[in-house]
Amino acid sequence: MSKPVVAIVGRPNVGKSTIFNRIAKQRIAIVEDEPGVTRDRLYAPAEWLGHVFSLIDTGGIDIDDAPLMTQIVAQAQIAMEEADVIVFIVSNPEGVTDADEHIAQMLYKTDTPVVLAVNKADNPEQRQEIYDFYSLGLGDPYPISGVQGTGLGDLLDAVVAKFPQHQDTPEDASVHFSVIGRPNVGKSSLVNALLGKERVIVSDIQGTTRDAIDSRFQDENGQEFTIIDTAGIRKRGKIWENTEKYAVLRAQSAIERSDVVLVVLNAEEGIREQDKHVAGLAHEAGRGVIIVVNKWDTIHKDTHSMQQFTDAIRTEFQYLDYAPIVFVSAKSTQRVNTLPALIQKVAENHERRISSSVLNDVLLRAISVTPTPTINGKRLRVYYMTQVKSGPPTFVAFVNNPDLVHFSFQRFLVNQLRAAFDFSGTPIVIIPRQRK
Ligand code: GDP
Ligand code: GDP
């Protein structure tokens, strides 16, 4: 379940984000160019020769107005705390700088393995000139070029060789969910309310430090749940904890390990710009999503309040039209007990698989009632549909010409699927492909 985490550290301008973007896997755009969906990534899934891992660019975590050294120290600390392997990047043309030495000294103190990469070694001569970097005392320097992509293979070989040995952890069948939202919406209160209501399981499973901060509980039906990153939700008083970028990183790392994400809003304050940012993260990751409107106790309610809030959510988060909305109060625990069953249902829908025969019955019925679109005199034909994966449900539609499948037709297919099967809470991905 838990993938190794690789963090990139180094002073500004050595090429961290260039390397990050080279190594990070392209994300699958569920819907392209949605407003409100974040584009700047600090955290991304990655893969090298069958090893899957998560990649963090600590350079993106900046603490407002703090001096350079404070920033670098905080970034290195985050890496030491979060990562299984640290990639320390320096720059060949500039040689070893004071800031590099400072970072190296911090890294001596950690047990986390460090791989030293010398970037901007763009040609064979420069790749020969890396011996100065042995003075950093971090072993062999790996010459790389972020702009050309050279040397990354050797670097990644060295990185994956340092991954922790696979431990045989018992199969974990619990539903994993995370609770995300901007500061003060009531995430920790909600987690406490959930843990207060349900039977908390004290787990003696040995895990890594990062696993140890999850909380496990069982609902009244015996279904087990794991709340991801409970310690990240409860603050520990580190200086970088209040930066938005760090919060985003934390949220992304929690989402990555979740089946279902609870996006928490604050009824008292309404919907803010930052809420859209947070919701966009959940949507992009392709997880199940539930929108939880917290602090419902603070609203002077009349018969329309819930409908009005629902309408506002549907307008502001159009891409999350599949997410159920729940109105709760973590303070009075009102309706908090409805959450576990809903989380379980969304997790099931997220993993749902439909057989091809049933799927094609639905498809044939749909296109017999509604003709497929014609574009420039060419009619789209859909021959066959098959589900290629779940989590989220992903369907390939074999067509005469994928260019004829526009957004509105994808939307039509998704709506047909939602009408025929219970996919509430989960995004659905449709991939048009030319029939050979
Ligand atoms: P960061 O601040 O460490 O994230 O650095 P960036 O990735 O933003 O890169 C800083 C600058 O170095 C940019 O202008 C990059 O285009 C440049 N750069 C990154 N990698 C290389 C490289 O391998 N060779 C050269 N010549 N320039 C690079
Ligand atoms: P977090 O930053 O998202 O983890 O938010 P907290 O759980 O720390 O809550 C922020 C503040 O909102 C605290 O003062 C809580 O007591 C308060 N709060 C949380 N949930 C509710 C609620 O349902 N109703 C009311 N009235 N206050 C709440």
- Among 166-175, 225-234, 286-295, 362-371, name the most confident range: 286-295
- Residue 385 has φ and ψ, to the nearest 5°, of -130, 145
Q: Whose CA is nearest to atom 7 of ligand 1?
A: 15
The answer, yes or no, to whether any atom of ligand 1 lies below 6 A from the CB of 120, is yes
Q: What is the DSSP string of 325-387?
A: EEE--TTT-TTGGGHHHHHHHHHHHHT----HHHHHHHHHHHHHHSPPPEETTEE--EEEEEE
Mean pLDDT along residues 370-396: 90
Pairwise pLDDT comparison (69 vs 288), residue with the higher score? 288
Closest by CA to 289, choosing from 107, 149, 427, 138, is 427
Instruction: Answer yes or no: is pLDDT of 131 > 80.
Output: yes
Q: How far apart are CA 151 and CA 15, in angstroms?
A: 14
- Does residue 57 have a known ligand-binding role? yes
Closest by CA to 180, choosing from 358, 18, 376, 43, is 43
| Interval between CA 293 and ligand 2 midpoint (Å) | 12
Instruction: Answer yes or no: is pLDDT of 210 > 60.
Output: no
CB atoms within 10 A of CB 15: 22
Closest by CA to 72, choosing from 102, 37, 97, 45, is 102
Query: Which tokens sit at 400?
Result: 């005469």
Pairwise pLDDT comparison (239 vs 71), residue with the higher score? 71
CA 12 to chain centre: 25
Read off the pLDDT band of 74 (50, 70, 90): confident
Interface ipTM above 0.90: no
- Does residue 386 have a known ligand-binding role? no
**pLDDT attached to residue 235:** 62
Q: Which is it for strands 43-48 and 51-57: parallel, antiparallel or unpaired?
A: antiparallel
Q: Report which DSSP code applies to 29.
A: P
Mean pLDDT along residues 262-281: 92
* CA dihedral angle for residue 196, residue 199, residue 204, residue 208, rounded to 10 degrees: -50
**pLDDT attached to residue 196:** 86
Q: How far apart are CA 276 and CA 38, in angstroms?
A: 9
The answer, yes or no, to whether any atom of ligand 2 lies below 6 A from the CB of 182, is no
| Interval between CA 89 and ligand 1 midpoint (Å) | 11
Ligand at shortest distance from the CA of 336: 2
| Interval between CA 284 and ligand 2 midpoint (Å) | 27
Instruction: Answer yes or no: is pLDDT of 42 > 90.
Output: no
Atom of ligand 2 nearest to the CA of 328: 23
Mean pLDDT along residues 141-160: 95
| Amino acid (1-letter code) at residue 4 | P
| Interval between CA 339 and ligand 2 midpoint (Å) | 17
Pairwise pLDDT comparison (369 vs 1), residue with the higher score? 369
Mean pLDDT along residues 87-98: 96
Q: How far apart are CA 352 and CA 319, in angstroms?
A: 20
Mean pLDDT along residues 252-275: 93
| Interval between CA 94 and ligand 1 midpoint (Å) | 12
Instruction: Answer yes or no: is pLDDT of 409 > 50.
Output: yes
| Amino acid (1-letter code) at residue 49 | L
Residue partners of 116: CB distance under 8 A and separation at least 6: 88, 90, 133, 136, 138, 139, 140, 141, 142
**pLDDT attached to residue 372:** 87
Read off the pLDDT band of 39 (50, 70, 90): very low
**pLDDT attached to residue 198:** 73
The answer, yes or no, to whether any atom of ligand 2 lies below 6 A from the CB of 181, is yes
**pLDDT attached to residue 206:** 45
The answer, yes or no, to whether any atom of ligand 1 lies below 6 A from the CB of 145, is yes
Pure H helices in 67-151? 68-82, 98-108, 124-128
The answer, yes or no, to whether any atom of ligand 2 lies below 6 A from the CB of 298, is yes
The answer, yes or no, to whether any atom of ligand 1 lies below 6 A from the CB of 61, is no
**pLDDT attached to residue 251:** 86
Read off the pLDDT band of 236 (50, 70, 90): low
| Amino acid (1-letter code) at residue 351 | E
Instruction: Answer yes or no: is pLDDT of 28 > 80.
Output: no
- % of the chain at pLDDT higher than 90: 58
Pure H helices in 257-355? 273-284, 305-316, 339-350
**pLDDT attached to residue 204:** 45
The answer, yes or no, to whether any atom of ligand 2 lies below 6 A from the CB of 172, is no
Mean pLDDT along residues 142-149: 94
- Does residue 313 have a known ligand-binding role? no
Atom of ligand 1 nearest to the CA of 148: 23
Query: Which tokens sit at 266?
Result: 């604050």
CA 333 to chain centre: 28
Atom of ligand 2 nearest to the CA of 329: 23
Mean pLDDT along residues 173-187: 92
Instruction: Answer yes or no: is pLDDT of 212 > 60.
Output: no
Instruction: Answer yes or no: is pLDDT of 187 > 60.
Output: yes
Ligand at shortest distance from the CA of 299: 2
Atom of ligand 2 nearest to the CA of 191: 7
254, 393, 404 from 408: Cα distances, Å: 32, 19, 11
**pLDDT attached to residue 211:** 45
The answer, yes or no, to whether any atom of ligand 2 lies below 6 A from the CB of 192, is no
**pLDDT attached to residue 308:** 95
Beta bridge partners of 199: 218
- Residue 218 has φ and ψ, to the nearest 5°, of -125, 135
Domains within the chain, CATH numbers bracketed? 5-161 (3.40.50.300), 175-349 (3.40.50.300), 356-434 (3.30.300.20)
- % of the chain at pLDDT higher than 70: 89
Read off the pLDDT band of 27 (50, 70, 90): low
The model's pTM: 0.80
Contact 77, 110 (CB under 8 A): no
Beta bridge partners of 429: 394
| Interval between CA 184 and ligand 2 midpoint (Å) | 6
The answer, yes or no, to whether any atom of ligand 1 lies below 6 A from the CB of 17, is yes
Mean pLDDT (the chain) is: 87
| Interval between CA 270 and ligand 2 midpoint (Å) | 14
Least confident interval from 30-34, 174-178, 220-224, 341-345: 30-34
Read off the pLDDT band of 40 (50, 70, 90): low
- Does residue 186 have a known ligand-binding role? yes
- Does residue 367 have a known ligand-binding role? no
The size of the chain, in residues, is 436
Pairwise pLDDT comparison (264 vs 231), residue with the higher score? 264
- Does residue 232 have a known ligand-binding role? yes
**pLDDT attached to residue 35:** 44
The answer, yes or no, to whether any atom of ligand 1 lies below 6 A from the CB of 59, is yes
Q: How far apart are CA 411 and CA 321, in angstroms?
A: 11
Closest by CA to 385, choosing from 404, 407, 366, is 366
Atom of ligand 1 nearest to the CA of 93: 26
- Does residue 10 have a known ligand-binding role? yes
The answer, yes or no, to whether any atom of ligand 2 lies below 6 A from the CB of 232, is no
CB atoms within 10 A of CB 257: 20
